[in-house]
Amino acid sequence: MEKYKIGEVLVSKDNQTLYKGLSNTPVVIPQGNKVIIGADRLAHHLRDNMIQPLDSEAEVSGIVSNGIVDMIYKYLAINLPLSDMLADYEITPKEFQGCMYEALEEIGIYKDDDAEAE
């Protein structure tokens, strides 16, 4: 049985074919795509915003901040002029993400250091 944590970051090891929408159109997800485990028991593909359900046997328990920070940063970058805003204040993306990690840690969501070692 696979065990995951909410916010866990996975990286696909090979190409995957997913089927999009009611039309069942095949879409190839390339190797190396980041996938975030969501609280909704879905795997969220960062590259193209596709989602897929986890295996019915998969267990999701616990929470880490790695994927949560990636998802928030991507959402902000898509919907706001984030790079311009950060440049205006001379803040690097890494510094901004560090602040998000600190904010999540304040509410008890910790960074998964094991994921950083990969």
Both 76 and 59 in a single domain? no
Both 56 and 73 in a single domain? no
Residue 25 is predicted with a pLDDT of 86
User: Which residues form the domain of 87?
Assistant: 65-109
Both 57 and 75 in a single domain? no
Distance CA 84, CA 76 (A): 12
Q: Please report where in the chains the tokens 């190839």 appear, as a residue.
A: 28
Distance CA 25, CA 2 (A): 27
Both 2 and 49 in a single domain? yes
Question: Is residue 117 a part of any domain in this protein?
Answer: no
Both 27 and 46 in a single domain? yes
Read off the pLDDT of each residue in 92-116 and give the average, rounded to a whole number: 87
Distance CA 51, CA 99 (A): 27
In which band, very low, low, confident or very high, does the pLDDT at 8 lie, cut at 50, 70 and 90?
A: very high
Q: Which of 65, 61, 62 is nearest to 111 (CA)?
A: 65
Both 55 and 77 in a single domain? no
Question: Is residue 2 a part of any domain in this protein?
Answer: yes
Question: Is residue 118 a part of any domain in this protein?
Answer: no
pLDDT tops 90 at residue 77: yes
Per the structure, the count of domains in the chain is 2
Stated pTM of the model: 0.76
Question: Is residue 46 a part of any domain in this protein?
Answer: yes
Both 3 and 58 in a single domain? yes
